[in-house]
Amino acid sequence: MPDTHPVPDIRRATNVTLPETLVAQAKELKVNISQACEAGLAAQVKAAREKKWLEENREAFECYNKYFEENGLTLERFRTF
């Protein structure tokens, strides 16, 4: 899967609406709100990409698993466990 931050990207200003108490707590704790939002968004994008990839490749996984269910492992006779 491609990295979510392969190279430094051009920054774009974006408005985000957040709960006032959460913003106050972040400021009190000196949390960089922009960095925290970026990290959260990057995590969500990564999770969505992974989910999409799994959905797109589900049929291939099913075929692969079905093959081994029907035929067993190719070198199973050499397994010692």
28/31 Cα distance (integer angstroms): 8
With cut-offs at 50, 70 and 90, classify the pLDDT of residue 57.
Answer: very high
pLDDT of residue 80: 82
DSSP H helices, the chain, are 20-28, 33-71
> Which distant-in-sequence residues (6+ apart) come within 8 Å of 37 by Cβ?
16
Residue with tokens 């199973």: 76
**Residue 1: its pLDDT value, please?**
56
Taking residues 27-41, report their average pLDDT.
97
